[in-house]
Structure 1
Amino acid sequence: MSDEPKFFEDYEIGESFVTPGRTITETDVVTHAMHSGDWQPHHTDAEFCKTQPFKKPIAHGTLTFAFSVGLIFRAESANPNVMNYGYDKIRFPALVFPGDTIKVEVKITAKKDHHKIKTHGLLTQTETTVNQRGETVAFVEHILFVTRRTPLD
C-alpha cells in the first residue's frame, strides 16, 4: 500500500489485492435493518427462518455489499484521484449468516478513456466477496472515475 495517490496511468489491468476479513454479527444485521428499513423476516425473525431451507436469519445482500466496500477502504490508502462512477452486475450467489467472515478479492479488469472528460479515465475492478470457506457471496463490477496525470488532447 503506497501513500502516494495513484493516477489513471498508474493502474494496470490484472493488478489485484485481497482485503482483511470481517466477521458479520447479529448486531450488524439488526443495525442494517434499522438503517435500511428492510425488516424482511428472513433477516430478523429467527422463528420464521426455522421454516425456511436456510434455517436461521441471513444477512442482507446490501449489508454484504456495504461491508465489502468498507473492507476495500480498509485495504487501500485514501486516494483523492478516485471517485465512484457506478456499479454493474451486482450479484449475491450465496447466503451470508451472522458468524461468517468475509473478505474481498479486488482485481482491475478494464481501463478506458472517458468518452467526454479528457482529464479522467474509467477503471473497472471486479470485487468478489468470499466467506471463510472461499465461497463467493457477492460479486460486483465497480466502475471508477480516475484523474489522469496527463489529460488527453
Structure 2
Amino acid sequence: MGGTSDAGPPRHPIPREWRRTPRDPPTGQVHPAARRLVPAQAYAWNGYDRASPTMAGLWFEQFEMNRVFEHELRRTLLESDNMWFSNATMNPAAIHIDAEYCKGTEFGKPLMNSIFTLGLVIGLSVQDTTLGTTIANLGMTDVKFSAPVFAGDTIHARTTVLDLRESKSRPNAGIVTFLHQGFNQRDIEIATCKRQALMLRKPA
C-alpha cells in the first residue's frame, strides 16, 4: 500500500457529459441523479448561475392547475424508523413502540407513527416539486390516515396541484396548494393532506 493522499470529494455521481460549468449555455436538462441532491449540489452540478438557473424543483410559474406528479421514489419502512421517530418526538404511545402490547390490539403489531407517515408522503414529493424553489410551508389541512401502516410496507406518493395564486405581500413568490396522497405496495391509499407552499418565482 502506498502513502496517504488527500482523496478529495466523493466521485462525481453524474456522468461527465451531463456536467456543465456556469459559463456553459443552459441546456434545461437535469440529470436524474441531480434530482436527489441538496440544492447547493444541484446548482453546482447542473451549471447553476443566477442568469439561467436549473433547478430540481419548479418555479411558481411552472406549476399548472390539476397537474399530477407520480413520484418515482419509494421508501420501505423499518421498525427502527418507527422507534427512532417516536423517541425523537417524545411520543411514548405503546401502539408504536411496544410489540408485546400490540399483540393484544386489533392490528397485532406496532403501527407506524402517523406523523412520520405524513412527513414521508410529503418528503417523497420534494424532488419533483419544491427542491430548491420553496420558501416555506404555510400550512396543512384535511389530513387523513385512511389505512394502517406497518414496518415492511413500501410507500409511494402522488401529488396534484389544486390551486395557484400570487402572493400579495411578496412579489417574488406565489402560493401553491398541493394534494399529497400516499399509497402502500398494494396501491391502497394510506394518507392524504392538502398543503400550501410559498414558492419562488423564476428570477428575471
Please, what TM-score do these two structures have when normalized by structure 2? 0.66
Residues 10-89 of structure 1: pairs in structure 2 closer than 5 A = 10-19=62-71, 20-75=73-128, 78-89=131-142
Q: Which residue of 2 aligns with 1:108?
A: 161
Aligned residues: 151
**Deviation of 1:76 (Å):** 5.2
Q: Deviations over 1:53-100 (max 9, x none)?
A: 111111010110122233223455722355322211122121100111
Identity %: 25
Greater relative contact order: 1 or 2 (C-alpha under 8 angstroms, separation 6 or more)?
1
**1:17 corresponds to which letter in structure 2?**
F
Change (3 A) 1:150 1:63: closer
Q: Distance in 2 between matches of 1:46 and 1:81?
A: 39
**Deviation of 1:125 (Å):** 0.8
Q: Deviations over 1:1-41 (max 9, x none)?
A: 95423322211012222221111111111111111111201
Q: Distance in 1 between matches of 2:134 and 2:118?
A: 23
Q: 1:125 aligns to what SS in structure 2?
A: strand
Q: Which residue of 2 aligns with 1:117?
A: 170
Q: 1:122 aligns to what SS in structure 2?
A: strand
Change (3 A) 1:38 1:115: same
Kindly indicate whether the alpha-carbon contact (under 8 Å) linking 1:2 and 1:77 is maintained by their aligned counterparts in 2. no
- Rg larger in structure: 2
Q: Which residue of 1 aligns with 2:199?
A: 146
Q: Which has the higher strand share?
A: 1
